[in-house]
Chains A and B, each alone.
Chain A
Amino acid sequence: MLRIENLVMRFGGVVACNDFSAEIKKGQIVGLIGPNGAGKTTIFNVVTGVYKPTSGQILFNPTGDQQHRLTGLSPDKIAQLGVCRTFQNIRLFGELTVLENVFIGNHLRVKSDVFSTVLRLPHYAAEEKRMYEKSLYLLEKIGLQDTRNEKATSLPYGMQRRLEIARALATDPKLLLLDEPAAGMNPQETQDLIQFIREIKEEFDLTIFLIEHHMDVIMEISEKIYVLDHGILIAEGNPSEIQQNQKVVEAYLGVG
């Protein structure tokens, strides 16, 4: 589904990510971990086109027969191909309502042109109705249907994170990138979140790539884990392999 090959990202003199390669298969949940400053979010930013990598390439193959080169594409093109994300430091459309946030996620799939939206032509009206219902359905899934008309930033933190996931789901992604979805959540919320991620993965036939600091989440949910330290891949494998890996332990304890 997604193949990252020899990715290098340099900012001036700082190497945020050096020669990183990874492969994610369709239907997998893959984790990306590492200490602070390891370059995890940088990789997400490169995959979603926010940054252009210094070198290396990223291939996306959603259906199995068509290969897209993501490197060099703009973020909106990448989203249209079916890669969507959430943000580590929540980036909701703050002044807009909860429902509007999810509704906007649908926009990239709109077929009508702008004039038919202004004239409310029947084909647009039908399209809008579908989008509206889909948005409501997504809100119901995350349990926010009752607060749909409230300002997005008025929600509690955990709910804002969920809203970001719902907004991303509205774009009909095939690959979903979650950047620290459990940040700031208590154990109960974290358990709910794990359940929720599994649910949406099944229902929407997703492949998921996630960054997380809560080790219990990562270990429980991922089939495969990549570990970064200072921009370099230091380990990859399934959760039990990672837990026993000496390098990973050292990186986290700050030895060496």
Chain B
Amino acid sequence: MGDVSIFLQHMTNGVSLGSLYALIAIGYTMVYGILRLINFAHGDIFMLGVYLTYYGVTYTSLPWWLVFLLAPLLTGIIGILLERVAYKPLRGSARITILISAIGASFLLQNLGIVIFGGRPRAFPVPQMLNHVVRVGGVSINFVTFIIPAVTILLLLGLTYFTTKTKTGLAMRALSKDYETASLMGIDINRIISITFFMGSFLAAIGGILWGSRYPQLMPLMGSMPGLKSFIAAVVGGIGNITGAVIGGFILGLGEIMLVAFLPRLSGYRDAFAFVLLIIILLVKPSGLMGDKVTEKV
């Protein structure tokens, strides 16, 4: 009995961490799908989302739920600006050029974070509503651990509706299937790309808020590790594929938690798990679990 409940506790933790990776991974996968660009700064956008929420809750009199809504919107706009400033001038350049710019942007955001927010860790103001312990069967679990997967699933449903039913969503998918043709068919590429960055950044910020509620320590460099790992989740699931990103996120989250739980001797290697997984996937199935088999276009 005790073993089962402990296992369940690890499961919920894993699912919850996996959901967070999934939310960030969606942004990577959407941008990659359209621009074939690893948006290295995406993890730092996530960090911005958390800090904006922190400042909103701590320094304004707005109710927390409003801040939780406004901060992601603002983060989304920052995402659009990022694309306009660092990537748009390079559209059509060699990929290596854009990647370098992306790395520059990532560093810029991280260090701006240090300059503006200070290097000292801060505590995320978790709303009382989310921050209470629930007892399920003999296990006590933080309420937010349940909220995280629920929010993720809701957002995912919304996103699926958006990409399959709305005109903009369809245009987005057309663009990621075949950039050249879609751009000839009169799709407003700039608009679609901006929307993509907005949505990716919005989801990252939501992920950030949930992350902060779960692990309430804020640092300007906090985005880089989750960012890298979420990118790996996107690759594992099949880059460009939204469902794949979610599946990849869950695999990664569960894998990490289970590694620490059942092989405590290896717990120091927790951060290496994702990268080992990445290298295995690249060796075994480079297109990812859900990825289309890429016909080698020469």
Contacts and interface: CB of A to CB of B under 8 A. Distances in A.
A and B touch in the complex (CB under 8 A): yes
Interface of A: 11-12, 45, 50-51
A193 B268 CA distance: 68
B298 A45 contact: yes
B78 to A, nearest CB: 37
B295 interface: yes
A11 B298 contact: no
A11 B298 CA distance: 12
Contacts of A50: 298
Nearest to A45: B298
A12 B298 contact: no
A243 to B, nearest CB: 34
Nearest to B297: A11
Contacts of B298: 45, 50-51
Q: Is the interface of A mostly helix, strand, loop or mixed?
A: loop
B164 to A, nearest CB: 22
The list of the 3 closest CB pairs from A to B, nearest first, reads: A50-B298, A11-B295, A12-B295
Contacts of B295: 11-12
Interface in B243-298: 295, 298
Interface string B19-63: 000000000000000000000000000000000000000000000
A12 B298 CA distance: 15
B287 to A, nearest CB: 15
A11 B295 CA distance: 8
A231 B129 CA distance: 67
A52 to B, nearest CB: 9
A51 B297 CA distance: 9
Contacts of A45: 298
Contacts of A11: 295
A12 B177 CA distance: 15
B181 to A, nearest CB: 15
Nearest to B298: A50
A161 to B, nearest CB: 20
A122 B8 CA distance: 71
5 contacts: A11-B295, A12-B295, A45-B298, A50-B298, A51-B298
A51 B295 CA distance: 10
A256 B286 CA distance: 44
A12 B295 CA distance: 8
A50 B298 CA distance: 7
A233 to B, nearest CB: 23
Contacts of A51: 298
A130 B295 CA distance: 41
B97 to A, nearest CB: 14
A74 to B, nearest CB: 12
B178 to A, nearest CB: 13
Nearest to A50: B298
A46 B295 CA distance: 15
B277 to A, nearest CB: 29
B180 to A, nearest CB: 15
A71 to B, nearest CB: 16
Nearest to A51: B298
Nearest to A52: B296
Contacts of A12: 295
Nearest to A12: B295
A144 B102 CA distance: 42
